[in-house]
Structure 1
Amino acid sequence: MNRKRLLTRRRTLLLGMGAFTVAGGLRHLNNQFPEIVYEGKDAIGKKNFTVVGDIPLRERAASKGLIYGAASSYRALASNTDYATSFAKECAILVPEAQLKWDALRPSPNRFDFTRADWMAKFARTHGMLFRGHTLVWHKALPKWFAGTVNKRNAERILLEHIKTVVGHYAGKIHSWDVVNEAVFPEDGRSDGLRNSPWLQFLGAGYLDIAFRAAAEADPRALLVYNDFGLNYQYEEPKRAAVLKLLERLKSRGSPVQALGIQAHLWCDNSSKFNPKTLKKFLREIANMDLKILITELDVSDKNLPLDVSIRDRIVAAIYEDYLSAVLEEPAVIAVLTWGLSDRYTWLNETDSRKRLDRSLVRPLPLDTNLKRKLAWNAIARAFDQAPKRHSEQVKSE
C-alpha cells in the first residue's frame, strides 16, 4: 500500500463517525497508529506537540505582538476561584459570553443593568487584562420586550440610545467592540448578501452604518469590529465573498469599521475542506482594505470523533495548530480568542453534545474540566511560538 493510500486509510479510520466507539476497536487503533497522522487537503505529517517551557499563552502571544484571550461567563468566573486564577494566568483579554448582549443589559425598554458586566470589567482590570465588548447589534439575544416595542418608527432611536449608553458606559476602558454581529447570510437570497434580520427590516441596509458611526462617536478609542461566522472552510467561499463586499461598501461610505472578527468554530469532520491557501488569500484581501483581523471565537468540536480521549485530543490539537499556523502568517491578525478556556465551561456541551454517541463530554478547549493543559493548549502555544513577530504597534490598550 503506498503512502498516500495509507494516509487516506488512517484518516478515514480516525475521522469515522462512531466507527471506533467499541473499546476493542479503540485499543486496536491505538496499537496500530500510536502516532496520529492528521491530513487535511494538504498532507500535514506527524505531530508531537512538544512545547518548550511553561510560559502562559498570554505571554507567548504578547512576545509576537499578539493578544490571546478567551470568552467566559460571569457565573464561571465568580463561582470558581481556581478557574478564575487559570483564566487570569492564561488570558490577556476577557470577552463576556453573554453579559453585554441586549437581553442581559436591558431588562426593560427604559432600564439598563450593568451589574454583571461591570463585575467582569473590574475582574479584567484587576488582573491586568483587556476587556472586549460582544455585541452591540445582533439578530439574536434580544429581550422579550423587543418584539412588541421596536418598529420602523422607533428602531433607529432605540438602537442609537443603546449604543450611546452601552459604549459610553465603557468608553476608554474597552479594547474593542463587535459592533455588528452576523449580518451576512447569503441563504436569505438578497443580492447584497445581508441577513433578513429585524434591524434590516426596520432600518434597511443602512443600519450597519448607523451602528458603526454611533459607536465611534461614543468611544473614539475602541477598535470597531464587524464579526461573523462561516469564513474558514472552502465550501464557505460565497459567505467570504459577501463579507468582502459588505466591508467594501462600509469603507466606501466612510463607516468607521476597523477590523473583521472571524469566528472560528471548527469541526473535525469538515477538516478536509480547510484550504490554507484560499483562507490566507481571503485574509490578505481583508488586510489590503486597511482592516485588522481578530480570530474571535475559536474552538474545535470533537463530537463525531472516537471515544478514546488520546485520539480525540490529538486530532483536535492538530486542527488548532494547522489553522493557527495558517492565519498567523497574516500580519493583520492581531488577536486569537478562544470561545472559552476550559472544557468545563463550553457552549458545545449543549450544542455539540456527544450524548447520542457515547455520552462523554466534548473536549474542544485548551484546558480540560480539571483545568489541566491539554494537547490543544500545546498546539496553540506552538502556533504562537512559531508565528512571525508583528513589527508595528498593533495592540490597542486602555
Structure 2
Amino acid sequence: MSKLYLQRLLSRRQFFIGGISTATAIATLFLTKLQVLSYLIYPFKSEAGKLADLQSRKFVVVGKKSLQQRARSKGIIYGAFPEADDRKFAKDSEFRSKLVSECKMMPVGTYWYTHRPKPDTFDFTSSDYFVKFGTENKLLMRGHPLVWHEFLPDWVAATVTKDNAKQILTNHVETIVKRYAGKIHSWDVVNEGIDISKGRRADGIRNSLWMKFLGADYLDIAFRTAAKADPRAKLVYNDFGVEYDSAGYDEKREAILNLLQRLKSNGTPIYALGIQSHLFGDRHPFKPRKFQEFLKNVASLGLKIMITELDVEDRHLPKDIAQRDRLVAAAYEDYLAVALAQKAVVSVTTWGLSDRYTWLAGHNFRADKAEKRPLPFDRNLKPKLAWNAIARAFDRAPKR
C-alpha cells in the first residue's frame, strides 16, 4: 500500500464541529474527526462499570447456522467487505471460503483514485476480479462509491471546471455502472455528501468540488445517470454520524433527512439510505431514542435502510481479550437490536469479516500496541463474541 493511498484512506471518516482541529492536524495525529467529537462531547462510563453491566449477558447462540442464513430467515441480507485487496484476497483461500459461507453480499470498491488514474483512463483490474468472484459464488455485489469527495486522483482538482464538471461526472458514473450492469445489487451513488463542520452551508451539503461547479443538483445528476446506466440496480445515498445521542449527531441526522426529503421531492431514483455505523466499543450504554426516531423518519419517506459499513472501534477498551471482546459484542448487539427492529432495514454489511483484514488496524493505534479486534471473526477466522452478538440480533429481529 502506497503512502499516498494510506494517507487518503486515513481521512475516510471525516466528521467534526466548530472548535475541533482541522482535518490535516487530526490526520497527523491519526485521529478521525468522528472520534475526536465522540470523546469531547460524550461522557463514558468507566470500564469497570461497563463490564459489571455486561456480566449477566452470556451471548448464547442456538444452532449452527451462518450469519447469512440467520439473516435470510428474517428477510435481511448479511454481507462483509473483504477489505483485502484483490491480490491478497486471491491468495487467501481460507478467508475466501469463510466469506462465502458466512455472507450473501460483498461490497466492491470503485474509488476514483484506483479506477480512474487519468481523465481518459479507467482501470477495472480490481473490481473485475471481485465482481467475477462474487458472480461465481452467487454473492450479491455492492458498488462503493460512485461519487465521493475523498480518495480522488490529483488530476480531478487540476482538470475539473464549471464547463466540464457535468460531463466528467456523468461519464464516470455511466462508464462504471454500465460495465457491471446486471451484476451489482446496489450502488452507493453518493458517499458522505453532508458536512456539518464549521463554516458549513446552511443546508449541510458538503462544499465538495462537485458542489462548487454543479451545485446541489450534482446528487440528482449522479443518481439519474446511474439509474439510466442500470435500471435494475438499487441506488443508495451513504453517510455516517447518525447513531449516537449528542449534539453533533443531531445536526447530522437533521441535515441527512433534509437531503433525503429534497431527493424524494425531486423524484430522484433513490432506493435507500446507507448508514455506515462505525461504532465505538466504549460507548455504553447505547441510547437509542433519537436513532430510533431517525430510522422511523427515513422509513416514512418510503426509503429502505442499509447498514453498510458496520464495525466496532476498540482502541480505548481493556487489553484483556475476554473483556474487550465482551464490550465489542455488546456494542454490536445493542446497536443491531435497535436498527433491526425497524423493518425498513433490509441489509447489514460489516466493514470486514475477520480481524485479519480491517482498516482500523492501520491507524488510531492502541496505546498498549495490542492488535485490534473489531470484527466477527479473529485473525484465525474463529468466531468471537461479536459473531454471537450479530447472530443473536438476526435471530431476534422481526421478519421483513
TM-score by length of structure 2 reads 0.85
- In 2, the alpha carbon distance for the partners of 1:265 and 1:59 equals 24
Is 1:195 paired with 2:229? no
- Secondary structure at the aligned position of 1:299 is classed as strand
User: In the TM superposition, what is the alpha-carbon distance from 1:203 to its structure 2 partner?
Assistant: 1.0
- In 2, the alpha carbon distance for the partners of 1:299 and 1:150 equals 35
> In the alignment, which residue of structure 1 is the partner of 2:251?
238
Is 1:264 paired with 2:298? no
Q: Which of 182, 185, 195 pairs up with 1:185?
A: 195
> In the alignment, which residue of structure 2 is the partner of 1:171?
181
Q: Which of 53, 61, 67 pairs up with 1:37?
A: 53
- In 1, the alpha carbon distance for the partners of 2:234 and 2:49 equals 39
Checking the alignment, whether the CA contact within 8 Å between 2:190 and 2:237 is kept in structure 1 is yes
Is 1:14 paired with 2:48? yes
Checking the alignment, whether the CA contact within 8 Å between 2:203 and 2:255 is kept in structure 1 is yes
- Secondary structure at the aligned position of 1:52 is classed as coil
- In 2, the alpha carbon distance for the partners of 1:76 and 1:386 equals 35
> In the alignment, which residue of structure 2 is the partner of 1:26?
none
> In the alignment, which residue of structure 1 is the partner of 2:126?
116
Checking the alignment, whether the CA contact within 8 Å between 1:76 and 1:83 is kept in structure 2 is no
Checking the alignment, whether the CA contact within 8 Å between 2:200 and 2:207 is kept in structure 1 is no
TM-score by length of structure 1 reads 0.86
Q: Structure 1 pair 51/307, CA: closer, same or farther in 2 (3 Å)?
A: same
1:45-194 matches, cutoff 5 A:
46-72=56-82, 73=84, 74-96=86-108, 98=109, 100-187=110-197, 188-194=199-205
- Secondary structure at the aligned position of 1:321 is classed as helix
- In 1, the alpha carbon distance for the partners of 2:362 and 2:77 equals 28
2:302 maps to amino acid: D
Checking the alignment, whether the CA contact within 8 Å between 1:298 and 1:337 is kept in structure 2 is yes
> In the alignment, which residue of structure 1 is the partner of 2:326?
314
- Secondary structure at the aligned position of 2:327 is classed as helix
What do residues 207-230 of structure 1 show as CA deviations (whole Å, max 9, x unaligned)? 001101111111111110000010
> In the alignment, which residue of structure 2 is the partner of 1:29?
none
- Secondary structure at the aligned position of 2:75 is classed as coil
User: In the TM superposition, what is the alpha-carbon distance from 1:85 to its structure 2 partner?
Assistant: 0.7
1:159 maps to amino acid: L
User: In the TM superposition, what is the alpha-carbon distance from 1:133 to its structure 2 partner?
Assistant: 0.4
- In 2, the alpha carbon distance for the partners of 1:159 and 1:167 equals 12
The size of the alignment, in residue pairs, is 352
- In 1, the alpha carbon distance for the partners of 2:245 and 2:259 equals 19
- In 1, the alpha carbon distance for the partners of 2:322 and 2:232 equals 45
- In 1, the alpha carbon distance for the partners of 2:131 and 2:299 equals 30
> In the alignment, which residue of structure 2 is the partner of 1:348?
360
Mind listing any 5+ residue stretches in structure 1 that lack a counterpart? 1-9, 17-32, 39-44, 391-398
- Secondary structure at the aligned position of 1:334 is classed as strand
Checking the alignment, whether the CA contact within 8 Å between 1:76 and 1:345 is kept in structure 2 is no
> In the alignment, which residue of structure 2 is the partner of 1:275?
287
Provide runs of 4+ in structure 1 moved above 6 Å: none
- Secondary structure at the aligned position of 1:279 is classed as helix
Q: Which of 348, 371, 379 pairs up with 2:389?
A: 379
1:296 maps to amino acid: T
- In 1, the alpha carbon distance for the partners of 2:289 and 2:184 equals 34
> In the alignment, which residue of structure 2 is the partner of 1:250?
263
User: In the TM superposition, what is the alpha-carbon distance from 1:256 to its structure 2 partner?
Assistant: 0.9
User: In the TM superposition, what is the alpha-carbon distance from 1:15 to its structure 2 partner?
Assistant: 7.1
Q: Which of 282, 289, 299 pairs up with 1:287?
A: 299
User: In the TM superposition, what is the alpha-carbon distance from 1:11 to its structure 2 partner?
Assistant: 4.8
Q: Which deviates further from its counterpart, 196-205 or 321-330?
A: 196-205
Checking the alignment, whether the CA contact within 8 Å between 1:261 and 1:296 is kept in structure 2 is yes
What do residues 298-353 of structure 1 show as CA deviations (whole Å, max 9, x unaligned)? 00011001110000000100110010011100010000000000011100011232
Checking the alignment, whether the CA contact within 8 Å between 2:59 and 2:392 is kept in structure 1 is yes
- In 2, the alpha carbon distance for the partners of 1:129 and 1:13 equals 39
- In 2, the alpha carbon distance for the partners of 1:13 and 1:339 equals 25
- In 1, the alpha carbon distance for the partners of 2:212 and 2:206 equals 10
- In 2, the alpha carbon distance for the partners of 1:159 and 1:78 equals 32
User: In the TM superposition, what is the alpha-carbon distance from 1:257 to its structure 2 partner?
Assistant: 1.2
Q: Which deviates further from its counterpart, 262-271 or 209-218?
A: 262-271
- In 2, the alpha carbon distance for the partners of 1:286 and 1:255 equals 15
Percent sequence identity over aligned pairs: 53
1:305 maps to amino acid: L
- Secondary structure at the aligned position of 2:46 is classed as helix
Larger Rg: 1
- In 1, the alpha carbon distance for the partners of 2:277 and 2:106 equals 17
User: In the TM superposition, what is the alpha-carbon distance from 1:269 to its structure 2 partner?
Assistant: 2.7
> In the alignment, which residue of structure 2 is the partner of 1:211?
222
1:386 maps to amino acid: R
What is the root-mean-square deviation of aligned Cα atoms in Å? 1.5
User: In the TM superposition, what is the alpha-carbon distance from 1:14 to its structure 2 partner?
Assistant: 3.4
User: In the TM superposition, what is the alpha-carbon distance from 1:192 to its structure 2 partner?
Assistant: 0.6
Checking the alignment, whether the CA contact within 8 Å between 2:45 and 2:284 is kept in structure 1 is no
> In the alignment, which residue of structure 2 is the partner of 1:366?
376
Is 1:389 paired with 2:393? no
